[in-house]
Amino acid sequence: MKLLNGQRSLLYTKRKKKVCFFMYDVIIIGGGPSGLMASIAAAMNGQKVLLIEKGKKLGKKLVISGGGRCNVTNRLPLEEIVKNIPGNGRFLYSPFSVFNNDDIINFFEGLGVPLKEEDHGRMFPVSDRAQDVAEAMFNEMDRLNVTVMLQSPVKKLLMDDERITGVRLETGEEFTAIAVVVAVGGKAVPQTGSTGDGYPWAERAGHTVTELYPTEVPVLSKEPFIQSRELQGLALRGAAVSVLKKNGKPIITHEMDMLFTHFGISGPAVLRCSQYVVKELKKNGGMPVTMRINSLPHLNAESAFQELHAMMKAEPKKSVKNVWRSVTQERWLLFLMERADIDPQAIGAELPAEKVRALAREITGFEMVVHGTQSIEKAFVTGGGVSIKEIEPKTMASRKKAGLYFCGEILDIHGYTGGYNITSALVTGNVAGRSAAAFSKEV
Ligand SMILES: Cc1cc2nc3c(=O)[nH]c(=O)nc-3n(C[C@H](O)[C@H](O)[C@H](O)COP(=O)(O)OP(=O)(O)OC[C@H]3O[C@@H](n4cnc5c(N)ncnc54)[C@H](O)[C@@H]3O)c2cc1C
Return phi, psi of residue 158, to 5°: -100, 135
Polymer length in residues for the chain: 443
Q: Is 184 in the pocket of ligand 1 (CB under 6 A)?
A: yes
Cα 181 from Cα 202, distance rounded (Å): 11
Do 274 and 257 meet the contact criterion of CB atoms below 8 Å apart? no
Q: Tell me the CB-side half-sphere exposure of residue 338, using CA atoms within 13 A.
A: 7
CA-wise closest residue to 84 among 208, 213, 256, 299: 256
pLDDT reported for residue 18: 43
Q: Is 149 in the pocket of ligand 1 (CB under 6 A)?
A: no
Q: CB-based contacts of 136: which residues, under 8 Å, 6+ apart?
A: 108, 111, 112, 113
pLDDT band at 348 (very low <50, low <70, confident <90, very high): confident
pLDDT reported for residue 2: 63
The number of beta carbons lying within 10 Å of the beta carbon of residue 409 is 30
Q: What is the DSSP string of 161-206?
A: SSBEEEEEETTS-EEEEEEEEE----SSSGGGT--STHHHHHHHTT
The number of beta carbons lying within 10 Å of the beta carbon of residue 166 is 21
Mean predicted confidence (pLDDT) in 384-404: 98
What tens digit of pLDDT does each residue of 102-159 get?
999 999 999 999 999 999 999 999 999 999 999 999 999 999 999 999 999 999 999 9
pLDDT reported for residue 349: 87
Atom of ligand 1 nearest to the CA of 422: 11
Do 421 and 31 meet the contact criterion of CB atoms below 8 Å apart? no
Cα 408 from Cα 420, distance rounded (Å): 11
Q: Which residues of 140-165 are buried (b: 16+ CB within 10 A; e: fewer)?
A: bbeebebbbbbebbbeebebeeebbb
pLDDT(439) > 90: yes
Paired strand residues for 169: 154
Cα 93 from Cα 72, distance rounded (Å): 19
The alpha carbon of 362 and the centre of ligand 1 are apart by a number of angstroms equal to 40
The alpha carbon of 34 and the centre of ligand 1 are apart by a number of angstroms equal to 8
* Ligand 1 mutation pick, 380, 416, 420, max ligand atoms within 8 A of CB: 380
What tens digit of pLDDT does each residue of 155-172 get?
999 999 999 999 999 999
* pLDDT > 70 in the chain, percent: 95
CA 359 remoteness from chain centre:
36
Cα 254 from Cα 233, distance rounded (Å): 20
Cα 153 from Cα 155, distance rounded (Å): 6
pLDDT reported for residue 219: 98
pTM above 0.95, yes or no: no
What tens digit of pLDDT does each residue of 251-307 get?
999 999 999 999 999 999 999 999 999 999 999 998 999 999 999 999 999 999 999
Atom of ligand 1 nearest to the CA of 407: 26
